[in-house]
Amino acid sequence: MKLGLIIPHSCLLPSSSCFCLRFLPPVDNNLNLSFPVGQRQVKLRVIPVICSKSKLLQSNLMEPGAEMVNKRNLYSPIEPYNTGNLKVSDIHTLYWEQSGKPDGHPVVFLHGGPGGGTAPSNRRFFDPEFYRIILFHQRGAGKSTPHACLEENTTWDLVNDIEKLREHLKIPEWQVFGGSWGSTLALAYSQTHPDKVTGLVLRGIFMLRKKEIDWFYEGGAAAIYPDAWEQFRNLIPENERGCFVDAYHKRLNSDDLETQYAAARAWTKWEMMTSYLLPNNENILKAEDDKFSLAFARIENHYFVNKGFFPSDSYLLDNVDKIRHIKTTIVQGRYDVCCPMMSAWDLHKAWPEAELKIVDDAGHSANEAGIAAELVVANEKMKALMG
């Protein structure tokens, strides 16, 4: 009889194991359970066993096509075991950190923005008993120096920085994880260095095309958030509203620091107010942190004015063939206003080999419950592939 109940491992069991129950014909002991079948009760004998996941997948306990129940909760908070600074140019020095398992499978986390930096919670998407987790702050962001600097700060500088960090840490190849702008950078990096990427987990797809910028910064998303848009719009005089990205660029690069801060707060607040399906006050308050907002707004705007430093509007889509072979999961919130689902769908149509997971009750943020769960699941699947 091929019957079994599979219970995901708890903290009492190693991550390679499961707690299983075998159901066999009944005997006269207290391990029998009754199950209703139609109008009658069927008795089965229950035997608890601990078995490895790999053996279980190959055993006759699982019918063909059945899947393991995947972990969906974030891992517990952890601290880095190693931090450092890497000088990547005459101007820029990057902060980096490592956490998790020192000899585990390496994964690099690419943060959003650009200019957003990382947070301790970013480590929680990964199993610390399997992954060697690398986080770093991109040029001008977070703890990297100089702060909010736009000089020598392009997509291709960042792609080169990722390679420099990989070589500095003596990592032959790694999994790449990125959301929002991090998905843009992950695509650019993997298309440039496909031989260094073991797998991709992407979230909130952003390919920095004109229609994506116009949607969010030139009035499209205002149809959904007119109240938040009004605050963003009102900083700019009517005679400069033909292009908000250019108008903000002028203020974010003003000689007057207070003008920069005012523009940075308004730019950042617009994104923070629209990044969750349901408003998140803690997220919105980030806009009041002038240091964070200045880097976030200045660097984002710098990249957007320069069209991401890509040679063509559809560059990332046009180069999908270079990474078609890489195992990839795309996680996308159905109601993502910042990076609307059209971009994930366009990427999916160009790259059907990549798995697309649509979260129907989520917006943009990786911290929304449904998106966070699917990101954990995606990493668990990568674990299974890498053994």
Cα angle 292-339-291, degrees, rounded to a multiple of 5 = 5
Active site residue 364: yes
Give 39's contacts (C-beta < 8 A, 6+ positions apart).
none
Give the closest residue to 100 by CA, choosing from 181, 199, 174. Answer: 174
Query: How far is it, in rounded angstroms, from Cα 191 to Cα 207?
Result: 13
**How, if at all, do strands 17-24 and 4-7 pair?**
antiparallel
| Distance set, CA 148 to CA 99, 253, 369 (Å) | 26, 11, 31
Query: How far is it, in rounded angstroms, from Cα 297 to Cα 248?
Result: 9
Query: How far is it, in rounded angstroms, from Cα 335 to Cα 221?
Result: 11
Active site residue 336: yes
What is the phi/psi pair of residue 7, to 5°? Answer: -110, 125
- Among 144, 336, 343, 365, which one carries the catalytic annotation? 336
Query: How far is it, in rounded angstroms, from Cα 117 to Cα 210?
Result: 24
CB-based contact 206:212 (threshold 8 Å):
yes
What is the phi/psi pair of residue 161, to 5°? Answer: -60, -40
- Among 99, 137, 161, 180, which one carries the catalytic annotation? 180
Alpha helices in the chain (DSSP H): 53-58, 155-168, 181-192, 210-217, 226-234, 244-252, 257-274, 281-284, 290-305, 315-318, 341-350, 369-386
Active site residue 290: no
| Distance set, CA 171 to CA 54, 102, 330, 378 (Å) | 27, 11, 24, 22
Give the closest residue to 62 by CA, choosing from 116, 10, 3. Answer: 3
CB-based contact 294:257 (threshold 8 Å):
no
Query: How far is it, in rounded angstroms, from Cα 364 to Cα 112?
Result: 11
Q: Which two tokens stand for residue 276?
A: 């969750």
Catalytic residues: 180, 336, 364
